Amino acid sequence: MQELIDTLEQKTKADYLLDTCFLMHILETDRLKHLEDFCRSNSVGMSSFNLKELSNRHHILHGTLSHHLRNFLKQKMVCNIPLDFGPGEREKEREYVSGFDPKLLEVVRDPSDAVLLVLGLKIRANILTRDKHHIFTTKAENYLSTHGIKVMNELPRNVPS
């Protein structure tokens, strides 16, 4: 899996950021074709942090889901937006978030989830997530909306490319 991730183009900008749980949800609900269509007409990225999570968790996918994930990555539908730390590096996660806005950890208590919000804010990308505990919450949505960033738990419809 990591070999495929390493082939993704690295960029510093995307219009949408995919959270790991969003991609897993798409796979589990058999809607990968919808995501592929969306990625063809929009700039979509995943942080290297989320891609590392994906690499660490792909083996738990049931049946053909791992195969579908591999095919999706082979198509290079998303870019890799690099961060200089990965999941599990709690102190670096906290520093990254606090360095952007120390009060953000009051909105999103889990630093590993707040990393995605900070990246979205830094590159001005909307966030696609299914995380109802920390990211897809009223507090997080309100915080991001003041910066013009949306948190979505479904693919947007009729988005201009």
Return the structure tokens found at 25: 């949800």
User: Does residue 45 lie within any of the structural domains?
Assistant: yes
Examine residue 158 and state whether it is found in any structural domain, yes or no.
no
Residue 28 belongs to a domain: yes
Question: 156: which 2 tokens?
Answer: 């947007």
* Average pLDDT of every residue of the chain: 91
Distance separating alpha carbons of residues 84 and 102, to the nearest angstrom: 19
- Please report whether residue 161 resides in a domain: no
Residue 158 has pLDDT above 80, yes or no: no
| Domain assignment present for 139 | yes
Q: How far apart are CA 92 and CA 149, in angstroms?
A: 24
3 state SS of 88: coil
What range defines the domain where residue 62 resides? 2-152
pLDDT band at 159 (very low <50, low <70, confident <90, very high): low
User: pLDDT tens digits, residue range 84-142?
Assistant: 999 999 999 999 999 999 999 999 989 999 999 999 999 999 999 998 766 777 888 88
Contacts 24+ apart (CB under 8 A), 50-57: 50/17, 50/18, 50/19, 50/20, 50/116, 51/5, 51/8, 51/80, 52/5, 52/86, 52/87, 53/20, 53/87, 54/1, 54/5, 54/20, 54/23, 55/1, 55/2, 55/5, 56/87, 57/20, 57/24
- Using only C-alpha atoms, the chain has a radius of gyration, in whole angstroms, of 15
Domain total in the chain: 1
Distance CA 42, CA 34 (A): 12
| Residue 157 included in any domain | no
Q: What is the mean pLDDT of residues 32-41?
A: 96
* Location of structure tokens 């003041």: 146
Is residue 33 in some structural domain? yes
CATH number for the domain including 96?
3.40.50.1010
Q: Is residue 160 part of a domain?
A: no
Take residue 128 and report the two structure tokens written for it. Answer: 């696609």
